[in-house]
Amino acid sequence: MSPLWKKIRVLFATRFAEMAEYRAEIIIWMLSGTLSLIMMLVWMSQAASAPGGQIRGYDASGFATYFLSVWLVGQLLVVWVGWELDLMIRQGTLSPKLLRPMDPMWIEYASHVAERLVRIGPLLALLVVFALLSGASFTHEWWAYPAALGLIALGFTCRFLYEYTLGLLAFWTESSTSFTEVAWLLYAALGGLFAPLAFYPPWVQNVAVWTPFPYMLGLPAQLLAGKATLAQTGQGALVLLGWVVVFWFVRLAVWRLGLKKYGAVGA
Amino acid sequence: MIRYLRLIRIFTGATISAQLEYRANFLGAVLGSLGQVGVALLTIGVLFAQTETVGGWTFREALLVTGFFMLTEGFISVFVQPNMSRIAEAIRTGSMDFTLLKPVDAQFNVSTRYLNVLRFPDLLIGLGLIGYAASALTVTLAGVLTAAVLYLSALSIVYCIWLALSTTAFWFVKTQNMAELFNGIFGAGRFPVSAFPLPVRFLLTFIVPIALITTVPAQAMTGRLTPLLALASPLVALALFAATRWFWLRAVASYTSASS
């Protein structure tokens, strides 16, 4: 077994064991992410009272499908690393991690991925219940599922990297958590958490297409709802990949600058 | 009574001077507040771009509800959450002992000790939204006064729910997640309750009284309040206050300190 593979396996196994300890909390966190479900109820009842029973081609069950998909994707995109870094930098618990022969980012990344594994079971069970209650029906095209999963993996990596960068701002300011809060607002608004992006004013849509948000949240949701094509998926994946590369280097630069600053304080 | 007002003044002074140490935080907090109102407006704007009314409410009327929602969120983050989140911590570390030994009512002490002044702009934004929405509606003085009274009972409902959730810390070590759960449900308060399907409406009125917090004061202002709801809100507030007071006293009675 190569040393690198062994490293990855140990890292992942320990993170998984840690996350499994939090299983009760993970279910509560899942239940508290209700915003897309609230929007689902509002839009469903709007469609039911609209003339013809639909709004812009979405009937009540169409809205249910879209927003439940958004909920599912959003649950898989959850990232808390900014908050974690803020705490680690402020309390100094980052220091022992710097002594390891590995960038501490990988520990956090493995934690997040392991958490997904703990989350997925109850998540799918809840999804089935919600779908039965709301009358949502997901696409029958088999290729949409791996395509959505690929976008989610890319989107998660992208979100992880920019939240990590924002968390690193704690080296300089005490308010890095409020920056992650603003980033969440952008993600929710431009990603399509409140309504499908096509419902937004054109100028908002024109801004949104240049950001990674619609491709990490709205597009995989549209795939699951059977409203997006393979070509759109490819295009979205390319945009996300571009942003991942950009955020990778931004993170690296901020990390190096931050470490200098951190060393200056501690030593 | 005067003693308690003086205490509030001292607590406020201490917590403000502690927070003004971190001035850079203020910029971040203002950014967060502005972002929040922007997203709230976008959400409601997109909704009304498709239809004239939502659940029988016009745009300005629904904006009134959003205003009350933002104001309540501000109230929670300025006054309620900073205190309530410390209860569990105080029980875990044993510093609750000192609070209980002081010759001041302990519930008063844990509820008023801290403030988050950084979130103060949220209150202004909420009030501004309410003012802006009301400026295009026909609002009577009686309507405003009724709304003010009903909103006071709404705030005490919010306080009671938070206190009840935080008081469970005397038995469970962590209560932070309960607060998360409340926030998740409270998010429904940004829309008039009639915008939801009937079963959910029932749930939001009678099981978790979110409707009483944001929709009812807005109804009072627009003069579409039924007398029954006008009575229900203060009654629920009173009942909840009595229940949480009882719950708090019971919790304190069963407290055995962190070390014993």
Cα→Cα distances A240→A76, A167, A231, A236, B28, Å: 16, 21, 14, 6, 27
Residues of B in contact with A135 (CB under 8 A): none
Nearest to B66 by CA among B136, B127, B141, B153: B127
Is the confidence at residue A175, as pLDDT, over 80?
no
Is the confidence at residue A129, as pLDDT, over 70?
yes
Give the model confidence (pLDDT) of B103-128 as tens digits. 889 999 999 989 888 888 999 999 99
Mean pLDDT over each residue of chain B, to the nearest integer: 90
Is the Cβ–Cβ distance between A180 and A186 less than 8 Å? no
Q: What is the pLDDT of residue A113?
A: 95
B88-92 LR contacts (CB < 8 Å, sep 24+): B88/B166, B88/B169, B88/B173, B88/B174, B88/B175, B88/B176, B91/B169, B91/B170, B91/B255, B91/B258, B92/B173, B92/B258
Q: Where are the domains of chain A?
A: 3-264
Mean pLDDT of B221-234: 88
Tell me the shortest Cα–Cα distance from B73 to chain A, in angstroms.
Answer: 15
Is the confidence at residue B16, as pLDDT, over 80?
yes
Q: What is the pLDDT of residue A185?
A: 93
Q: What is the pLDDT of residue A267?
A: 44
Closest partner CB to B35 (pick from A33, A182, A201): A182
Is the confidence at residue B69, as pLDDT, over 90?
yes
**Do residue B32 and residue A31 have CB atoms under 8 angstroms apart?**
no
Q: What is the pLDDT of residue A21?
A: 87
Phi and psi at residue B54, to the nearest 5°: -120, 115
pTM over 0.95: no
Nearest to A227 by CA among A39, A62, A50: A62
Is the Cβ–Cβ distance between A145 and A224 less than 8 Å? yes
Best residue in A27, A31, A41 for a mutation probing chain B (most B CBs within 10 Å): A41
Helix/strand/coil percentages in chain A, nearest 5 = 80, 0, 20
Tell me the shortest Cα–Cα distance from B178 to chain A, in angstroms.
Answer: 8
Is the confidence at residue A168, as pLDDT, over 80?
yes
Q: What is the pLDDT of residue A264?
A: 59
3-state secondary structure of A55: strand
**Do residue B43 and residue A199 have CB atoms under 8 angstroms apart?**
no
Q: Which of A90-94, A97-101, A211-215, B81-85 has the highest mean pLDDT?
A: A211-215
Cα→Cα distances B126→B12, B58, B120, B194, B248, Å: 22, 19, 10, 21, 31
pLDDT tier, A176 (very low <50, low <70, confident <90, very high otherwise): confident
- Higher pLDDT residue, B182 or A235? A235
Task: Give the lowest-confidence range in A173-187, B167-181, B194-208.
Answer: B167-181
User: What does the block give as tokens for A257?
Assistant: 């600058």
CB within 8 Å of B38: residues ≥ 6 apart: A185, A189
The whole-angstrom separation of Cα B32 and Cα B197 is 31
Mean pLDDT of A13-22: 90
**Do residue A199 and residue B50 have CB atoms under 8 angstroms apart?**
yes
Q: What is the DSSP string of B64-101?
A: HHHHHHHHHHHHIIIIIHHHHHHHHHHHHHTTHHHHHH
Q: Where are the domains of chain B?
A: 2-254
Is the confidence at residue A26, as pLDDT, over 80?
yes
